[in-house]
Amino acid sequence: MPPSDDKFSDAGDKPGQNLAVLAEALYLANLLLVPGIAFAVLAWLWLKNKDSAPPLARQHLRQTTFVSLYGGILIVVLSALFIAIGGLHWEWTWVVVIMYFTCVHSTLVMFGMFGLAKALAGQVWRYPLIGPALE
């Protein structure tokens, strides 16, 4: 089969789109593959680029960094609260903790995939409820 004559280029990309995609990918990596390490890289990218990045990248960096923080706090604090209220030895405590963790975690993953799709499309995205307001 002869090679295609299609020319792929970045000419259609919006400024900062690659950084926005990287931010969303790191957010998902933090939730699914390498928690903590991916967040450290994401936080470093945010601190390094928060003032100089193009608006699209800045918005995705801001959303993913803060939602990672708020989501982590939400999961840890409320799970600990459920354990504190129910005790370690009551079966229903673990049912509630596991269901809560699963529901919140999977929701954050789903929103992360939607955010990645928006970044790939060159659009801004605000995470519902816990995402910071759009600029």
Domains: count for the chain: 1
* Helices and strands (DSSP H and E) totals, the chain: 4, 0
Q: Quick check: is 75 in a domain? A: yes
In this predicted structure, the answer to whether residue 3 has a pLDDT above a threshold of 90 is no
For residue 67, tell me if it sits in a domain: yes
Q: What percent of the chain has pLDDT over 90?
A: 64
Q: What is the structure's pLDDT at 8?
A: 47
Whole-number pLDDT of residue 11: 47
Mean pLDDT, residues 23-43 taken together: 95
- Residue with the larger pLDDT of the pair 134 and 21: 21
Per the CB < 8 A criterion, the answer to whether 104 and 75 are in contact is yes
In a domain, 63, yes or no: yes
Q: Give the up-direction half-sphere exposure of residue 36: CA atoms within 13 A in the CB hemisphere.
A: 0
In a domain, 10, yes or no: no
Using CA atoms, how far residue 8 sits from 13, 16, 22, in Å, is 11, 18, 20
- Cβ–Cβ under 8 Å, residues 74 and 130: yes
Token digits of residue 122: 């060159």
Predicted local confidence at residue 56, as pLDDT: 93
Cα distance between residue 79 and residue 102, in whole Å: 11
Is 127 a domain residue?
no
Domain containing residue 24: 17-119
Query: Residue 34: inside a domain, yes or no?
Result: yes
Q: Which of 90, 53, 46 is nearest to 68 (CA)?
A: 46
Give the residue, 12 or 112, on which the prediction is more confident. Answer: 112
Domain-located, residue 62:
yes
The residue whose two tokens read 């999961």 is 75
Kindly state the helix (H) or strand (E) to which residue 46 belongs, with its residue range: helix 37-49
Q: pLDDT by residue (tens digit) across 65-115?
A: 999 999 889 888 998 999 999 888 889 999 999 999 899 999 999 999 999
Maximal CA-CA distance, the chain: 68
Specify if 58 maps to a domain: yes
pLDDT of res. 7: 53
Identify the residue with better confidence: 10 or 2: 2
What's the mean pLDDT when you consider all of the chain?
A: 89
The pTM score is 0.84
